């Protein structure tokens, strides 16, 4: 039997055919939205990503994969700009 997608968005976005962008472009797109979980923040969402990655780098200098995870952890939020709820 074919594998069942764990989420309906997988069929819509899984092929990455709607729009392709670099990580930096996606981080810049984050700055266009107001995060419902933190609406009173006065700095761009991309700053939070860099701040998180840098904090992880300081705490875990030997885990470069973890630095990357800190940078990328909120990138899925760009889907709000394509009509998905937060």
**Residue 74 known to bind ligand:** yes
Q: How many residues does the chain have?
A: 86
Cα(15)–Cα(26) distance, integer angstroms = 17
Is 40 annotated in a binding site? The answer is no
Cβ-proximal residues to 19 (8 Å cutoff; 6+ apart), any chain: 82
Residue 62 annotated as lining a ligand binding site: no
Q: Cite the annotated binding site for Fe cation by residue number.
A: 48, 73-74
Q: Cite the annotated binding site by residue number.
A: 48, 73-74
């Amino acid at each position: 039997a074919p594998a069942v997608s764990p989420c309906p968005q997988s069929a819509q976005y899984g092929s990455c055919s709607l729009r392709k962008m670099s990580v930096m472009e996606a981080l810049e797109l984050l700055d266009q939205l107001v995060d419902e979980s933190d609406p009173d923040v006065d700095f761009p969402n991309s700053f939070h990503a860099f701040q998180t990655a840098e904090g992880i780098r300081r705490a875990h200098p030997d885990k470069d994969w973890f630095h990357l995870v800190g940078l990328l952890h909120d990138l899925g939020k760009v889907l709000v700009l394509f009509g998905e709820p937060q």
